Amino acid sequence: MISRTKVLFICLTLSIAGVARTVEACACSTGYLNDRDDAEEQFAAAVFEGEVLPGGHVITAATREHSGQSVIVFRVLRSYKGTQGESIQVYDAMAGSDCGFGQPKPGERYFLYGFAGKDSKIFVEACTRTAGLEFAGPDMRYARGEQPTNEDLTPAGEKWRLRRDPNLGSQGATLRGTIRPAGGGNLSNVVLTVWEVDARGRRIDLIADRQKVNKDGSYEVRYISPGQYIVTAEDLQFTPTARFVGESGKIQLEQGQTHSDVNLFLHSEPAGQVTIRVIAPRELHDRVFVWLRDVQMDSLGGSPYKFAGTSQLNEKNTASFESIPYGLYDVYVMLTNEDTRKPSWTHDELQVKLTGRIAEGVVELRKPGEK
């Protein structure tokens, strides 16, 4: 199964090594799964239909340093997983921030995915499929074992393009083809991406579509605007030493055209491990996380498989990143809920170059102005 980390969200104010990078809003990426597969993927520790009861209250008020935490009490209307009794308390660790659940009113009804915290409490998280019952038809059909509708099985990108431009339903182009795995491997975790190409023939970081391929390796991408594109595929099931990717040449799509036989073969690229040890006061340990980011992430062209991701510290004050493609990476050490206007900690710039089994780096946090 693909991890829920396929859905990215940013809900922190960050101070990154003295660099002017500020992210304050909570922004969720568009998923690449259809509603049926996404509902299956997110079936969490607790899944239920619930009605908000009076009694939710803020436990910790939001401050500049920390988001608030609230508890919402739900009457369980229908339980699918992980709930017992007639009511349940669900915690919102990001209350008071843009990533919080908000302030639901008594009587409002939701289809809710609850995730287990370290203290056995059930938490609602940002960027999941939790939604009001009127918007949760695909989730209820999956949870109840009902057959999916055609709408449930339509890839998210196709829905988005048709909402943006209904004319693509009759005038859009279609791409079809197959993905062949290296060594006859499994295709259940292979994702296809259709990239836009600029006037100079360079791939740009604008994605026209992203979706899973079928289990037999076939795919069909519909409702694409006329233009020039490149198609890539990657297996999200990495090994410690390799990942498997494929790429087409440039493809010109005309209005209403069906372009068949865009076939890709997955080949292996070397990968390894990156570990970053952070020297910081013990009281910061639980707030620290490390962002590893390809130095070419913002450049035009180049590899379409650039890596960026975050990792928290383990008990040895080390953040580990597994199955990372060879390359050069920027390292940023950050604190949750840090205000860039008044950063409390910073560090020297650091890059690590991965060219073998492992690359290591060390970062020491210091007060601004200290050497």
Tens of pLDDT, residue by residue over 219-262, are 999 999 999 999 999 998 888 899 999 999 999 999 999 999 89
CA distance 233 to 30: 18
Query: Which helix (H) or strand (E) covers residue 286, if one does?
Result: none
Q: pLDDT band for 64, please (50, 70, 90 cuts).
A: very low
CA distance 188 to 225: 28
Give the dihedral of Cα atoms 195, 201, 205, 209; nearest 10 deg: -10
pLDDT at 44 over 90: no
Q: Which of 36-50, 118-132, 243-257, 302-316 reaches the highest mean pLDDT?
A: 243-257
Do the bridges between strand 227-235 and strand 251-253 make them parallel or antiparallel, or are there none, so unpaired?
Answer: antiparallel
pLDDT at 343 over 50: yes
Residue 26 pLDDT: 56
- Record the tokens describing residue 179, joined without a space: 């993905």
Specify the fold of 34-143: OB fold (Dihydrolipoamide Acetyltransferase, E2P) (2.40.50)
- Record the tokens describing residue 264, joined without a space: 């890709």
pLDDT at 42 over 90: no
pLDDT at 315 over 90: yes
Residue 263 pLDDT: 95
Domain 155-265 has CATH 2.60.40.2190: yes
Q: pLDDT band for 341, please (50, 70, 90 cuts).
A: confident
Q: How many CA atoms lie within 13 A of 299 on its CB side?
A: 9
Please give the residue that has the higher pLDDT: either 13 or 224.
224
Q: To which CATH superfamily is domain 270-364 assigned? A: Immunoglobulins (2.60.40.10)
Please give the residue that has the higher pLDDT: either 119 or 151.
151
Q: Token pair 């089994």 is at which residue? A: 357
Cβ neighbours around 170 below 10 Å, total: 9
Per-domain residue ranges for the chain?
34-143, 155-265, 270-364
Q: pLDDT band for 302, please (50, 70, 90 cuts).
A: confident
Question: Does the model's pTM come out above 0.85?
Answer: no
- 270-364 has the same fold as 155-265: yes
Q: pLDDT band for 131, please (50, 70, 90 cuts).
A: very high
Task: Give tens-digit pLDDT for 19-35.
Answer: 333 333 455 655 778 88
Do the bridges between strand 109-116 and strand 46-52 make them parallel or antiparallel, or are there none, so unpaired?
Answer: antiparallel
* 8 Å CB contact between 81 and 47: yes
Q: Which of 25-39, 40-54, 177-191, 317-331 reaches the highest mean pLDDT?
A: 317-331
CA distance 223 to 272: 38
